Amino acid sequence: MRGSTPAPGAEFVRYGGHTSCVAVADEGRAPTLVLDAGTGLRALSGLTGGSAFAGAIVLGHLHWDHTMGLPFSPAVDNPDADVELWVPAQGDTETILERWMAPPHFPITPSQLRGRWRFGALEEGTHRLGGFEVLAREIPHKGGRAFGYRVSDGTAAFAYLSDHCPTVLGPGPDGLGARHPAAMALAEGCDLLIHDAQYLDEELASRASFGHAAAGYAVGLAEAASVPRVLLYHHDPPRTDDQIDALVARYAGRAVVVEGARQGTVIDLPGHRPPGA
């Protein structure tokens, strides 16, 4: 999944060009929790069997690439949809969304999306959302409040830090950013880490001010937090499929399995390991 803007074209087909969106479901059921509402949200109807979505959409933050799918998904803009939309608390949620989704910038406002919608402001802590336990912790990212999430069903857990700039809190052990308490609390002992990897390690010095992480940070965080598998996520829009292949190959032989996040991938998490296991 891409960061910042969609990436169409033949060089971006294998990993996909949509912006951030992850659907979460119990085995054999339609998704009831969605993390972020980038252009990938358009594909949600394929996971609901064409039916309307019923559940919670939880945004990590409010940048365009994480919200632009909202009015374009037939599963959520649907007369039968039943949606709770949660964002990191920073004022009235509906009013904030209207800053980009309202005339003259867009033909309708959030309240005019079809179906039953509730708009909520999320604080740090543990919440029950879409049938899952969701831990929300604030993480550094430029331009508005941003949260990372840890999602669990009681048997398996994954961490989702889609936009994360840990260098703001210091260089950390390898110069790629601090392994700060919020990041560790979200990731420690999870079965899977989905993490911002917009930049190569060598690109970070010149681009960290944009608010993102290097791939090496994601891998190092997974190792420090005893996570066996990491998906490098939020790919830089110009990074081609072949370049992502080469990036993943850099981490062969590490203590964790490293993969590039691919559009449409389905991941089963069969069981949860307690921290330190």
CATH number, domain at 211? 3.60.15.10
Asked, for residue 1, whether it belongs to a domain, the answer is no
Asked, for residue 268, whether it belongs to a domain, the answer is no
Mean pLDDT of 21-44: 95
Q: How far apart are CA 46 and CA 49, in angstroms?
A: 5
Tokens encoding 253: 């032989």
Asked, for residue 18, whether it belongs to a domain, the answer is yes
Q: How far apart are CA 164 and CA 159, in angstroms?
A: 12
Query: What is the pLDDT confidence band of residue 273, given thresholds at 50, 70 and 90?
Result: very low
Counts of helices then strands in the chain (DSSP H, E):
6, 12
Question: Pairing between strand 132-138 and 147-152?
Answer: antiparallel
- Total number of domains constituting the chain: 1
Q: ∠170-175-181 over CA atoms, to 5°?
A: 45
Lowest mean pLDDT among 42-46, 83-87, 132-136, 206-210: 206-210
Q: How far apart are CA 4 and CA 63, in angstroms?
A: 8
Q: What is the pLDDT of residues 147-160, one digit of tens each?
A: 999 999 999 999 99
Query: What is the pLDDT confidence band of residue 271, given thresholds at 50, 70 and 90?
Result: low
Q: ∠34-191-228 over CA atoms, to 5°?
A: 135
How distant is the alpha carbon of residue 263 from its chain centre? 12
Residue whose pair of structure tokens reads 């831990």 in the numeric block: 135
Residue type, 239: R
Whether pLDDT at 181 is above 80 = yes
Asked, for residue 275, whether it belongs to a domain, the answer is no
Domain that holds residue 48: 10-260
Q: ∠34-273-258 over CA atoms, to 5°?
A: 65
Q: Where are the alpha helices (DSSP H) in the chain?
A: 44-47, 93-97, 181-187, 204-207, 215-224, 241-249
- The mean of the pLDDT values for the chain is 93
Asked, for residue 270, whether it belongs to a domain, the answer is no
- Residue 229 carries which DSSP code? E
Asked, for residue 276, whether it belongs to a domain, the answer is no
Residues in a beta bridge with 117: 83
Asked, for residue 145, whether it belongs to a domain, the answer is yes
Tokens encoding 102: 């309202």
Tokens encoding 42: 């358009």
How many Cα atoms occupy the beta-carbon half-sphere of 8 within 13 Å? 1
Asked, for residue 3, whether it belongs to a domain, the answer is no
Q: Give the whole-number percent of the chain exceeding pLDDT 90.
A: 87
Residue type, 77: D
Query: What is the pLDDT confidence band of residue 267, given thresholds at 50, 70 and 90?
Result: very high
Helix (H, G, I), strand (E, B) or coil at 111: helix
